[in-house]
Amino acid sequence: MNHFKLFLVAAIAAVPTLALADPITVARCASDQLSVSNAHLRIEWARQCSLTLNTGSVPNTGNPANYFLSGRAYDLTILMTGMLVGAKEYRENSSTTRPYTSSTFYNSEINYTYVWGTYTGAGAYTVFQDPTGYYKWTTSSTQRDGSTQNGSPYYPIFATNASATGTQLFPHPTLANCNLYTDKTGTTPYTGTFAVVGYCEGGCYTPDQSLRFSTGDVNIVDALNARRNDIVTLSPDATLDDPRTQVSTVYSYTRDLFDASQPIIKLTTASGGSLNVTNAHPVLISNGRLVRADKLREGDDLLKADGTPDPITRIARTHFWGKVYNLRPTATEHVANILIAQGFLVGSARFQNEDVSFINRTILFGAVPDEVMPK
């Protein structure tokens, strides 16, 4: 989908929830921008280095036999036979001072941290052995585990220590080894202790799109540059019958640091409206469900800001060269994370990973037919 973004107000910390605004992590994410494909490579690199250098009985070694059965996820293959067996898991040495996932994140469990950054949903994964004998997790080819790939995967960033005074470190640009370097070009290797100090994520709007603020519709780039802090969202008590709104503060803006090719869904509606978003952007449709843009079909009704249905007449799949953008309101209520983009009701950045379980769920209940209500 899109590329990873600079957090201008807040950042993802090395915990599975958002941290308070952290300008140090903001700057580190900005210094270590990756494309989506490179982010996935970073996540796998971190897992491989964790397994081979932090699972052995002595420092800087690994042992494929040092696995245990996870208490966080099941082995999908065994689960399909009707048995509940934990997926084979590894833990980075608790005493290590050179972690590649996080010494405090999910109890240093390597595969679970990998799937948290890569996938959304699921409680079971396909377990396989790589050529070196280590057990790894992935999703099944049929997606029977219920997971999907994150619209904005989380990848780790590093520093010489976990405090704000730590110097930022980088893997080699080709991921040629498990070393970290003091420069992004991989010229000066670092040999001391280090820590995972954060995770970075991404955003969704092309720069020609507008969002509704208290004064009216404002271009997303202009809003970011002005640090607008008055985004209009639905009220927590809004329904399809009564899509009332409120003015909310903005928790974070995100944008790409570099121009790149972005896959874009271009939606045109019967009223002549248009909405351009990336594949995984959540969009509200007329039965009250929040769905990914790439799951929409012609004939589906988008919802205008006043709740009026507006059927999609054309869907174009294209690419855009440049940066894409997003924002996240401070409000955490699900309905209060519905924004108005180009006059249509859409989900904020919060839904793409953190609240992805609500994608394809009914979120506004007023006037929703019984047959589409979740059971």
- 3-state secondary structure at position 161: coil
What pTM does this model have? Answer: 0.58
Q: What is the rounded radius of gyration, in angstroms, for the C-alpha atoms of the chain?
A: 22
Q: Report the pLDDT value the prediction gives residue 268, as an integer from 0 to 100.
A: 93
Tell the burial category of 215 from Cβ atoms under 10 Å away from its Cβ (0-12, 13-18, 19+): exposed
DSSP assigned state of 216: E
- Give how far the C-alpha of residue 213 lies from the chain's centroid of Cα atoms, to the nearest Å: 24
Please state, in angstroms and rounded to a whole number, the distance separating the CA atoms of residues 351 and 262: 20
Give the chain's domains with CATH numbers.
5-200 (no CATH), 210-372 (2.170.16.10)
- Nearest to 371, CA basis, from 280, 251, 288, 277: 288
Which pLDDT tens digit goes with each residue over 164-204? 788 999 999 999 999 999 999 999 999 999 998 887 765 56
User: Do residues 127 and 77 make contact, with C-beta atoms less than 8 angstroms apart?
Assistant: yes
Query: What is the pLDDT at residue 18?
Result: 27
User: Roughly how many angstroms between the first and final C-alpha of the chain, as a whole number?
Assistant: 31
pLDDT for residue 218: 95
| pLDDT score of 352 | 62
Averages of pLDDT over runs of 10 residues in the chain (375 residues) are 30 28 61 72 94 92 96 91 94 85 82 85 86 89 52 81 88 95 94 87 73 95 90 90 91 73 85 88 86 89 93 86 82 89 89 50 40 35
Give the pLDDT score at 164. Answer: 75
Cβ atoms of 251 and 9 within 8 Å: the answer is yes
pLDDT recorded at residue 36: 64
